């Protein structure tokens, strides 16, 4: 079995990635003892360099990182963990500890996970003249009202067999649903995990 090089490196950097959305969640550090605890599962353990102790991610917040896969880099001195987050990963209550510095990098690649990150950024920064900011400021009642309206428009477009409108209204519905999930502090990965669980039962 491939094993990290703790002989030459007492503490190794660890990147945690959401197994479902592929979003990078956080950077932490592990000693060999923390690594062994993580191998046993079910959750990720780290070593706190400031507090000089082992700690289980989520031990206070209950926002655990459930281990799914562990990968070691070619020099055996860095670890990548694919995990299922049980809530916001960052101590600031954000889904991820990482933020986009420049959204122009998203022009060539896009996904629901990236859209989720953008919506979360709008939620945190509340930029002026942003429709997303307006939705968050107006609250859950307004967001759910918009979801109802968009769902109705999706149905109308489908019954009218209007493909272009159906695509446009479906995009609107997905967007507003992601805004609602962000407002309720529910990550897209939690929804994907539930779908995965249901698929395994079939």
Domain with CATH 3.10.20.810 in the chain: 12-85
Please, what is the average pLDDT of the chain? 89
pTM > 0.75? no
Question: Is 103-201 in CATH node 3.40.50.1370?
Answer: no
The superfamily CATH assigns to domain 12-85 is Phosphoribosyl-AMP cyclohydrolase (3.10.20.810)
**Residue 120 has which token pair?**
């979360």
pLDDT one-digit tens code per residue, 183-199: 998 888 788 878 877 87
Q: DSSP readout, 35-96?
A: HHHHHH-SB-EEEETTTTEEEETTTTT---EEEEEEEE-TTSS-EEEEEEESS--STTS-S-
Find the helix packing angle between 188-201 and 163-183, rounded to 10°: 110
- The percent of residues in the chain predicted with pLDDT above 90, rounded, is 56
Lowest-confidence pick of 28-37, 49-58, 103-112, 118-127? 103-112
pLDDT one-digit tens code per residue, 97-135: 887 665 555 555 567 877 888 898 899 889 999 999 999
Return the pLDDT at 197.
79
Return the pLDDT at 96.
86
Average pLDDT, integer, range 2-23: 88
């Amino acid at each position: 079995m491939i094993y990290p090089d703790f002989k030459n490196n007492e503490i190794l950097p660890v990147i945690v990635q959401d197994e479902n959305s592929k979003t990078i969640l956080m950077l932490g550090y592990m000693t060999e003892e923390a690594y062994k605890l993580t191998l046993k599962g079910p959750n990720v353990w780290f070593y706190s360099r400031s507090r000089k102790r082992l700690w289980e991610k989520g031990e206070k917040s209950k926002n655990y990182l459930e281990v799914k896969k562990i990968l070691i880099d070619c020099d055996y001195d860095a670890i990548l963990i694919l995990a299922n987050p049980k809530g916001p990963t960052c101590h600031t209550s954000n889904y991820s500890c990482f933020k986009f510095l420049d959204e122009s990098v998203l022009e060539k690649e896009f996904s629901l996970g990236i859209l989720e990150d953008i919506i979360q950024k709008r939620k945190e920064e509340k930029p002026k003249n942003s429709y997303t900011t307006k939705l968050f400021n107006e609250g859950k009642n307004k967001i759910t009202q918009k979801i109802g309206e968009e769902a109705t428009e999706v149905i109308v477009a489908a019954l009218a067999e209007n493909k272009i409108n159906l695509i446009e209204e479906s995009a609107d519905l997905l967007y507003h649903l992601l805004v609602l999930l962000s407002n309720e502090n529910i990550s897209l990965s939690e929804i994907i995990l539930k779908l995965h669980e249901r698929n395994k039962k079939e």
